[in-house]
Amino acid sequence: MNILHTKYKVNPIPSHLICNIESTISSIVNRFQNTHTPLLAYEDNKKFMGLVTVQNTLFNRKHNSSTNIRSCLITPPKIFINTPIGEILREMSKLKLYALPVFDKSDKVVGLVKAKPLLKKLMKDDLFAEEMIKTMPKRSVSTIPQESTIGKAYHAFQKHAVSRLIVVNSDNKIKGMISKRDIFFPYFTSSNRQRFSTRSKTKNYSFDEEKMKEDNQLLMNFISPIVEVLSEKTNASEVIRTLITCKYNSIVIINKDRQPLFIYTTNDLLKTAVSITKKTPTLLTIISKLPQELNEGEKKKISRDLRLLAVWINKQYKIQLIRFTSKTVYNPERKPILFEVKLTITTDSATFFTDNKNRDFMHNVEEVISEIKKQVRRMKKVSEIVHIAARIKK
């Protein structure tokens, strides 16, 4: 199955994620589901204009509660129904947005594609799941004391370049979580005051007097007390699968005293998935039904070895198709007495084929892979000789 080109679900756009570009920021404060789900902005004629994000709005010094949505827009990438999953994941990872609009051929938005269903689909592939579990990073937790203010949280978000902070008490035990979306509300609720900046440096905050007032609000008034946590004894596979299926975008690993140790985030999943899809050839692999005598470990090894072979060949030729077939010969007692395997790899330059018969199925697999490698090396040498001869002739 070509996991990078499988079709994905296009979700309808909920009405609360749609806004008018003439609206003010204060009027859409409560519409953000989380830091990573954007709003879609339209004109009165229902023409799509762009996305509104927490990041681009909250951390832009020129914006205040009366700023029109028109001034906050970002242009999303053009994703179509046939866009490869790997490409979608790269765009999501780059923008740190876990939902993006899908367009039709006339550039009309027809729905949303979401990160977690894509990741869930990819995790059904054993090789992808194995690579994800092996390479998914666990990051140290960025914490903030519960006595802190909103202003300190704002500074921490800028300093650590994270989307959430774990709120802890004096014993370093979890009290909750604060996200960029959570501090969006106190800074952008409606105000009748005219605001001006008294500072000249572009890196400083704007609207100083009023912002200083917002900065001093207590953090605990805005935190989310619900945090998805798992024990430090939980294995990586369970952590990743829980993160993909739960409604939160992070999981905190805690010790027996509920002190935070590490954090796994959806963004980490996206980055890891992008890394995997970059080094994995975008190819179609067809593996016929394997002998029932094989155990799951042997089946996974065959898939893994074929994928590694493909990665190696793909450095020299662009692979289009891998076909692996097998046949089992049984005696009258239905005991396997002979296995035959065939391996065909079609590239943009040549087709490589070999087969092998043996009583040991796994030995057969090793032999056909080895033979294909020999063919590829011979092909490469011939190409090099032809290239040298052509240069000499010139």
Shared domain for 204 and 303, answered yes or no, is: no
In order, the DSSP letters of 78-124 are: --BTTS-HHHHHHHHHHHT-SEEEEE-TTS-EEEEEEHHHHHHHHTT
Contacts of 142 (CB under 8 A, 6+ apart): 156, 160, 162, 164, 165, 166
Shared domain for 227 and 318, answered yes or no, is: no
Shared domain for 144 and 269, answered yes or no, is: yes
Structural domain includes residue 332: yes
Shared domain for 161 and 265, answered yes or no, is: yes
Shared domain for 243 and 287, answered yes or no, is: no
Structural domain includes residue 133: no
Tell the residue number behind the tokens 């994941």, with chain if given.
89
Strand partners, 166: 143, 177
Shared domain for 316 and 361, answered yes or no, is: yes
Looking at 274, 307, 328, which one is the last position of a domain? Answer: 274
Domain with 199, as residue range(s), is 139-274
Structural domain includes residue 341: yes
Strand partners, 176: 167
Structural domain includes residue 208: yes
Distance CA 309, CA 126 (A): 16
Structural domain includes residue 120: no
Shared domain for 237 and 301, answered yes or no, is: no
- Output the pLDDT for position 18: 95
Shared domain for 243 and 147, answered yes or no, is: yes
Structural domain includes residue 244: yes
- Output the pLDDT for position 158: 85
- Output the pLDDT for position 310: 86
Q: How many domains does the chain have?
A: 3
**Phi/psi zone of residue 49: left (φ > 0), alpha (ψ -120 to 50 degrees), beta?**
alpha
- Output the pLDDT for position 323: 84
Distance CA 170, CA 202 (A): 35
Give the CATH number, domain containing residue 374: 3.30.160.100
Structural domain includes residue 1: no
Shared domain for 299 and 386, answered yes or no, is: yes
For β-strands 39-42 and 18-20, DSSP reports them as parallel
- Look at residues 394, 392, 339 and name the one whose alpha carbon lies nearest to residue 368: 339
Q: Which pTM does this prediction carry?
A: 0.68
Contacts of 149 (CB under 8 A, 6+ apart): 215, 216, 217, 218, 219
Structural domain includes residue 132: no
Looking at 274, 302, 322, which one is the last position of a domain? Answer: 274
- Output the pLDDT for position 104: 93
Give the CATH number, domain containing residue 94: 3.10.580.10
Shared domain for 262 and 313, answered yes or no, is: no
Per-residue pLDDT tens digits of the chain, which is 394 residues long: 445 555 678 999 999 999 999 999 988 888 888 899 999 999 988 899 999 999 888 777 678 888 889 988 999 999 998 888 888 999 999 999 999 999 999 999 999 999 999 999 888 877 678 788 888 888 899 999 999 999 999 899 888 888 899 999 999 999 999 999 888 878 777 554 433 343 434 444 444 444 555 778 888 988 887 789 999 999 999 999 999 999 999 999 999 999 999 999 999 999 998 887 765 554 456 666 788 889 988 988 998 898 889 888 888 887 767 888 899 999 998 899 999 999 998 887 888 999 999 999 999 999 999 999 999 999 988 888 887 877 887 6
Looking at 204, 239, 274, which one is the last position of a domain? Answer: 274
Shared domain for 375 and 262, answered yes or no, is: no
Strand partners, 325: 342
Shared domain for 216 and 156, answered yes or no, is: yes
